[in-house]
């Protein structure tokens, strides 16, 4: 088994429990938490998977910080799509290395970053946003995740037209996706994929109706429900609380 150790400058996840964890950098400074203070220089040279104790005796597990850790901490100025929906959207959009994908709107950049992480290094995500403050926040988030080189950001209303052509996919997270179905059709290559995320069924009805007026096939609408479990010997059962409805995903393919 690999015995990888923390090096100076590494990003590290200090894991306490499923509700509390922190991303820090291994360096010469003190890190303050409600569970006590950690001398971050003490984790340098320790194995990943090991432990470090705070001044109050709390024990944190030392793990390498990855993309999902950062995604959970993304700076939010808008509602962020849940991971369960992110994954399905990326799958339906066929987000693979080298793909050219248009996205609207950028929001906080969570979906943007997830798509960019799939299309890199030779692919590109073109993301449209109408609010400058949202775009700037998303830009900072992408820089933190190291994905800015795979994204082209545009401050523009997509209903005024799509600049790109011969796209592999168009992914929409906007209030009126049906208004850009025609533009999406013109921008997509034959076989290209259309994916739209909407919180209400009324938006879905209008979008599906508009897709039927253009050369699209395989039009589908799905909703993903995720249920977590409390697992303990002789006590396993679904958690009392769960995330219910988040949104509907409409997908189609251009011919």
The pLDDT tens digits for 102-131 are 999 999 999 999 999 999 999 999 999 999
Stretches where the chain sits below pLDDT 70 are 1-2, 75-78
Q: Kindly state the tokens that stand for 90.
A: 């990326």
Tokens linked to 234: 């002789």
The number of folded domains in the chain is 2
Structural domain for 56, as ranges: 11-65
Antiparallel, parallel or unpaired: β 124-129 and 151-155: parallel
- Considering the domain architecture, whether residues 78 and 161 belong to the same structural domain is answered as yes
DSSP state of 35: T
User: Can you give the pLDDT at residue 1?
Assistant: 47
Residue that is written with structure tokens 């950049």 in the block: 109
**Structural domain contains residue 4:** no
H or E segment to which residue 178 belongs: none
pLDDT score of 187? 98
Q: Are residues 199 and 101 in the same domain?
A: yes
Residue 156 burial (10 A CB sphere; 0-12, 13-18, 19+): middle
Q: Are residues 52 and 126 in the same domain?
A: no
The answer to whether the CB of 227 falls within 8 A of the CB of 238 is yes
Contacts of 165 (CB under 8 A, 6+ apart): 186, 187
Does residue 209 form part of some domain?
yes
- pTM reported for the whole predicted model: 0.86
* 140 and 98 part of one domain: yes
């Amino acid at each position: 088994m690999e015995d990888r150790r923390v090096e100076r400058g590494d990003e590290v996840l200090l894991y306490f429990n499923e509700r509390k964890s922190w991303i820090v950098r291994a360096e010469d400074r003190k890190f303050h938490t409600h569970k006590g203070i950690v001398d971050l220089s003490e984790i340098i040279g320790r194995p990943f998977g090991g432990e470090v104790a705070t001044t109050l005796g709390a024990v944190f597990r030392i793990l390498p910080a990855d993309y999902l850790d950062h995604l959970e901490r993304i700076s939010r100025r808008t509602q962020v799509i849940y991971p369960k929906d992110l994954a399905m959207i990326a799958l339906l959009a066929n987000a693979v290395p080298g793909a050219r994908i248009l996205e609207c709107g950028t929001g906080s950049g969570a979906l943007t970053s997830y798509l960019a992480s799939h299309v890199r290094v030779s692919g590109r995500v073109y993301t449209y946003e109408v609010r400058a403050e949202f775009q700037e926040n998303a830009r900072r988030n992408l820089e933190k995740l190291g994905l800015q080189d795979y994204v082209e950001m545009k401050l523009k209303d997509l209903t005024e037209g799509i600049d790109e052509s011969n796209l592999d996919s168009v992914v929409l997270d906007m209030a009126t996706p049906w208004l850009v179905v025609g533009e999406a059709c013109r921008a997509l290559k034959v076989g290209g994929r259309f994916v739209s995320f909407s919180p209400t069924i009324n938006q879905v009805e209008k979008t599906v109706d508009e897709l039927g007026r253009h050369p699209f096939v395989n039009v589908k609408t799905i909703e993903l429900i995720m249920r977590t479990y409390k697992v303990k010997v002789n006590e396993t059962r679904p958690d009392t609380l769960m995330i219910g409805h988040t949104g509907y995903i409409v997908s189609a393919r251009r011919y």
